Structure 1
């Protein structure tokens, strides 16, 4: 069985009902879509924009906050493992701009981050296509509309 440690450090996240359950169901959908093992450990930080900007600068050499960061554990870790961090202000603004419920956008970002923990990436079009297909299937399992449909011209 997997372990998920959730830390909420920004009070804005209080609008997200049951962060633990949101993480568990998001990771379960992603794991089942990828047919990944049901063992591993993920730590999730629901942080502030300032916290995520600091992590982004220190660990990735990039300025400013981003919606989600993922840091896979060392390859020697058994099962899947790593850390995911979300920035409240960025995530909330993206959800509002897209007309999405915050919880649905968070689920998408958690699925996205979880895929990064498993080695998926989107540095080129081929990688992005594979990753997005898995995201779409996982989000469908969660009852969340395809976030890429509008971009792809699908109604």
Structure 2
């Protein structure tokens, strides 16, 4: 038996489809790599990736983080109690939602939107699983895991560019 997370991709901004015609598959592949690297073989969940625009994510950022600006990715993990499904109920527990903004993501990676999106999907999925980067030790652990997952997808370490600048 293997980890099974049904990953739904909801496209709220059609520019994602124009810029990356295979965007749904790309998101599902990146999410699957994150799930495979972190979840046990018995786990069965679902999660949603929402591909939106800056206006949509700016409103979420304002409502949930009191930040009056767009950001590249927001994650909304389902709390652990909500993941517990009573025995006999045929409902798959949700890990939560990852929301990614088109304009911000595109402006951060004009040359390789696909790889940057893959990184943001992995990053967001790890947040759904409780990984964080608020403290230095947590950030190092999360970045190390991201780099490993991304390497498996053929994506270069996104933190190299940050540390080399």
Give the alignment's TM-score, normalised by structure 1. Answer: 0.89
Could you say which residue in structure 2 is the equivalent of 1:23? 27
Map of 2:98 onto structure 1: 84
C-alpha change, 1:36 and 1:107, in structure 2 (3 Å) is farther
Distance 1:11 1:27 in 2: 21
Aligned: 1:5 with 2:8: yes
Computing the radius of gyration from Cα coordinates, the structure with the larger value is: 2
Q: TM-score, normalised by structure 2?
A: 0.84
Is the aligned partner of 1:93 residue 2:97? no
Within a 5 Å distance, the mapping from 1:38-77 to structure 2 comes to 38-76=43-81, 77=83
Residue of structure 1 equivalent to 2:153: 142
The question of whether the paired residues in 1 share the 8 Å contact of 2:5 and 2:32 is answered with: no
User: Quick one: distance in 2 between partners of 1:118 and 1:80?
Assistant: 11
Q: CA RMSD in A?
A: 1.6
Post-superposition CA distance 1:18-45 (Å, at most 9, x none): 2221122111211222244552111111
Q: Structure 1 stretches of 5 or more lacking a match?
A: none
Task: Note the residue ranges of structure 2 that are not aligned, 5 or more in a row.
Answer: 85-92
Tell me the CA shift for residue 85 of structure 1. Answer: 0.3
Residues 80/152 of structure 1: CA separation in 2 closer, same or farther (3 Å cut): farther
| Alignment: residue pair count | 150
